[in-house]
Amino acid sequence: MALALVAACRSPLAEVDQIYYRGPGPRVLCAASIDRAVHEDQASIDGALDRARDEGVVVQLYAHAPGRLVDPARIEAIAAGAARRGLASVTYAELADAPPARAGLALSFDDDDVAAWLGLADMLDRYQLRVTFFVTRFQELDATARAGLAELARRGHDVEAHGVHHLRAPEAVQEAGLDAYVRDEVLPSVAALTAAGFAPRVFAYPYGARTSTIDRALLAHVALVRSVAYPTDGLLVSDPCPE
């Protein structure tokens, strides 16, 4: 299993079927990392954009910490590439409405690097690219960061939930139980964003770590969950992305 996932890391993104949204039905969606430590090949990313255009589907890509873990120039290259190919920008809030497939890009950023996200905002505006920010540890953000998230939402971006403490779900469930994980890690993350004026409907698993049992529990409370096409931390609990 681990070898298969390592191989997936090296596969061209155009061959990673799970990262393409083909229309309503699946509620566990999966994205591929564009962080420099995981997928450095711009040609592979371009191939994924080509497939989205050619097949009329939405390709899902995600990153962490612009400027630290992903080069902002890469993000702009992706934005420009999507624009050249006529790909629509699609947020996870829109995918939660189960739209029909269309040629598009669902780009998301995980964690809590609000200042770095704001640094991308003007560039994203130039390409008319709306993205999704999956926010963790919202309760620890100061007033400036919270205002920054509100500004990103004002510009048309989507703000969704990514956990209270950024826990790996399978280990958290094993330690405290499924009900406790949902009650203490997932629902407060959604509730805090809702109380702050956002409208989260999607939960992104930290590290992409998930199981079908956890999926079913979370999907009683959110419209979609987002995993990843392969793990980014070298730890394996189950296949991050369902077939």
CB-facing half-sphere around the CA of 92: CA atoms within 13 A:
32
d(CA 159, CA 143): 16
Q: Could you tell me the sign of the dihedral formed by the alpha carbons of 226, 194, 148, 96, in that order? A: positive
For residue 140, with 0-12 CB atoms within 10 Å meaning exposed, 13-18 middle and 19 or more buried, which class applies? exposed
Proportion of the chain in helix, strand, coil states, percent, rounded to 5: 45, 20, 35
Q: Is residue 138 part of a domain?
A: yes
Domain boundaries, position 40 = 2-228
How many Cβ atoms sit within 10 Å of the Cβ of residue 80?
Answer: 14
d(CA 20, CA 216): 21
Q: Is residue 162 part of a domain?
A: yes
- Quote the number of domains for the chain: 1
Q: Is residue 125 part of a domain?
A: yes
Indicate the average pLDDT of the chain. 92
d(CA 219, CA 203): 9
Q: Is residue 61 part of a domain?
A: yes
For residue 46, with 0-12 CB atoms within 10 Å meaning exposed, 13-18 middle and 19 or more buried, which class applies? middle
Q: Is residue 177 part of a domain?
A: yes
Output the pLDDT for position 81: 98
Is the pLDDT score of 215 beyond 70?
Answer: yes
Select from 211, 146, 217, 209 the least CA-distant residue to 186: 217
Output the pLDDT for position 5: 41
Is the pLDDT score of 239 beyond 80?
Answer: no
Output the pLDDT for position 39: 64
Band of pLDDT at residue 168, cut at 50, 70 and 90: very high
Q: Is residue 239 part of a domain?
A: no
Mean pLDDT throughout 188-195?
98
Max Cα–Cα distance, the chain, nearest Å: 48
pTM above 0.95, yes or no: no
Q: Is residue 241 part of a domain?
A: no
Residues 132-148: tens digit of each pLDDT: 999 999 999 999 999 99
Band of pLDDT at residue 236, cut at 50, 70 and 90: very low
d(CA 45, CA 207): 20
Q: Is residue 127 part of a domain?
A: yes
Residues 23-39: tens digit of each pLDDT: 999 999 999 999 987 76
Question: Of the ranges 51-55, 60-64, 118-122, 234-238, which one carries the lowest mean pLDDT score?
Answer: 234-238
What is the CATH classification number for the domain harbouring 209? 3.20.20.370
Band of pLDDT at residue 1, cut at 50, 70 and 90: very low
Chain centroid to CA 144: how far?
Answer: 23
